[in-house]
Chain A
Amino acid sequence: MTQADIALWQNRLPRAFGPTPAVKALRWVAGAAFILWLGTLLWWFDITPTRIWNGLSGLAVIVRLMVPPSPGELWMDILKGMAESVAMAFLGTFLAALVAVPLGFLGARNIVTVTLLRFSVRRLFDGVRGVDQLIWALAYVRAVGLGPLAGVLAIFTSDMAVLAKLYAEAIENAEKKQSEGVIAAGGSRLHAMRYGVLPQVMPVMLAQALYFFESNTRSAAILGVVGAGGIGLQIAERIKVRHWDEVAFIIILMVITVGVIDYLSAKVRKRLIGVRETPVG
């Protein structure tokens, strides 16, 4: 193949030798727009090299003060806070899972055939779910005062909505045959739910609840930052008075506790439902 041949083919099939000028121009425009966007954001948020550098040197000081981590004199409070966080997560998830079962039945298409009712129940879940747990916590702290009770209520509220949605989906996916059998054998619709649907969805529900317990130990650890009890309160207080070694200790304790809870919960889950796969919420 000579240069002339190549030129001939390039002439005949320009697209095979690279993007068209229009695509090239579009890429340039997109690139320029991206750079412009990035530049605007950096300017807007006042992100300058000097600021980053000063911040990093401040951070270095903080990290140096964190080593070695120490529990400090009030280590009993830290342990108590950690226990409080786990208890908040456990209680909140348990109550949410309990309430979510009837709500899930209310939101399931194959159980509640009244579209308006089901639709409004589902939209209510969506609305509650759209509000972050921390916002709920902040609101509950205002309503019932500082302390773990606000945290339990916040976890309960936001998880109830998510679990109810997941439960409703599980119920909708349940095999119909069993409940038809119960009805055919003379059972009422309530019997069909109890003996036809519930045994099928129970393992899924339990697994979801345990997953949520795991993820709630993480979130319960930070709810205290807004005053809703638990270890978050301890860490926020220590950051305020700049006891960085104790902050480091609390972070390590948090990571270890979450790991232990994950491990235990995975064990329980396996025992309860075997090793079947369930979708993560």
Chain B
Amino acid sequence: MSLAVTAHPAALRGEAAFQAQRRQRRLSSLLALAVLAVCLLLAARISEFYPASLAAGLPRVGEYFYKLLPSLQWNALLSGAGTEGSIAFWFYRLDDWAWLLLQTSQMAALATLAGAVVALLLAFPAARNVAPARWINIATRRGLEAARTVPEIVYALIFVWAFGVGPLAGILAIFIHTAGALGKLFSEVIENADLKPWEGLRASGANWAQACRYAILPQVMPNLISYALLRFEINVRGASVIGFVGAGGIGQELNLVISSNYYEEISAIIVLIVLAVVLIDMVSERLRHRVIGSAAEGH
């Protein structure tokens, strides 16, 4: 109480200003919340996210995921594929699935390799610092942008028409998307490269391609390899679902078992995909660290 009585006018002014500011902030956050609420309601209405359909749907979701669980039995867990309730019975088509997983990973590997090669060739003209001409630079940039903005699966849908059902359509779809995405990353790495070797080579009479090869490439190679490996990890995931539209790999099989409601096979395949993805991620991460590590030692 005494504080209020003896307060200095300046303190009072400060207090008033503080209160006014606080009111304003409250008002603006209330406004933001109102906008958010309107957006949410609108989104819920458009996407048919009604309480009634949700209440009807959620128990079915629980039921569905419960059905996916394998009926394993403790005492039969490790016995052969003939006994119901064993792990071997759950994965009874392991050889087929392992083969499909290998196919999927090789699709991703081939698409990543081809995409990285094309990206490497296009990254030099797409990098602003070494591009031979402005119009070439802009043209390559737009081209790479177009290649990466269209989702893989849309390419796959179209390619299945042109190239027929099978892995080739999937590989090409992943390849185009990868070339676009890696081309951008590669050109950014090149833009950050030191230009002194480039100037030296150009001054001593090297042509454009030679300067790219001997001045820029040795500097950026470890980074490029690391990005390509990262992309390979992403592409393995992509390749495992691209089969949904008929473009080969384990996705085609998964789509089949999901639409035929072979519940235990669904969970078995998903477990296998997750394991394979985790394994490939781990190996590739090791490799990436080694590539980057050797580059750091070299400098």
Q: Using a CB–CB distance below 8 Å, which chain A residues touch chain B?
A: 38, 41, 44-47, 51-52, 54-56, 58-59, 62, 83-84, 86-88, 90-91, 94, 126-127, 130-132, 134-135, 138-140, 142-145, 147-149, 151-153, 218-219, 221-222, 225-226, 229, 232, 235-236, 239, 242, 247, 251, 254-255, 258
Contact = CB atoms under 8 A, between A and B. Distances in A.
Nearest to B155: A251
B100 to A, nearest CB: 12
A36 to B, nearest CB: 13
A45 B57 contact: no
Contact of B47 (A44, A87, A236): A87
A134 B244 contact: yes
A40 B42 CA distance: 53
B44 A58 contact: no
Contact of A221 (B46, B151, B237, B241): B151
A55 B47 contact: no
28 contacts: A45-B110, A46-B168, A52-B163, A58-B161, A59-B162, A84-B46, A87-B43, A87-B44, A90-B39, A91-B40, A94-B40, A130-B277, A130-B278, A131-B273, A138-B255, A138-B258, A139-B65, A142-B259, A143-B60, A143-B63, A149-B47, A149-B48, A149-B53, A222-B151, A225-B153, A232-B153, A236-B245, A255-B150
B14 interface: no
Contacts of B149: 255, 258
B261 interface: yes
Contact of B61 (A83, A86, A144, A148): A144
Interface string B134-155: 0000000000000001110110
Given A135-B273, A140-B61, 4 more contacts: A87-B42, A134-B244, A142-B259, A142-B261
B230 to A, nearest CB: 13
A149 B53 CA distance: 8
B85 interface: no
A249 B277 CA distance: 35
B163 A132 contact: no
Nearest to A45: B167
B251 to A, nearest CB: 8
Contacts of A152: 47, 49
Across the A-B interface, the 8 shortest Cβ-Cβ residue pairs:
A55-B163, A144-B57, A130-B274, A143-B64, A87-B43, A87-B46, A58-B162, A148-B47
Contacts of A83: 46
B254 interface: yes
B45 to A, nearest CB: 8
B270 interface: yes
Interface residues of B, number: 59
B157 interface: yes
Contacts of B167: 45
A83 B39 CA distance: 12
Contacts of B48: 147-149, 229
A55 B159 contact: yes
B126 interface: no
Contacts of A144: 53, 56-57, 60-61
Contacts of B44: 87, 91
B47 A239 contact: no
A92 to B, nearest CB: 9
Contacts of B157: 225, 235-236, 239
Contacts of B266: 139
B158 interface: yes
Given A135-B270, A225-B153, A51 B168 contact: yes
Given A90-B39, A90-B43, A55 B162 contact: yes
Interface in B27-74: 39-40, 42-49, 53-54, 56-57, 60-61, 63-65, 68
Nearest to A94: B40
A147 B56 CA distance: 14
Contacts of A55: 159, 162-164, 168, 172
A46 B57 CA distance: 43
A62 B158 contact: yes
Contacts of A139: 64-65, 68, 258, 266
B187 interface: no
A215 to B, nearest CB: 11
B150 A251 contact: yes
B240 interface: yes
B106 interface: yes
A165 B100 CA distance: 30
Nearest to B237: A132
A226 B243 CA distance: 11
A132 B241 contact: yes
B166 interface: yes
Nearest to A93: B43
B241 A134 contact: yes
Give the residue among B44, B153, B159, B164 with the most A Cβ atoms within 10 A. Answer: B153
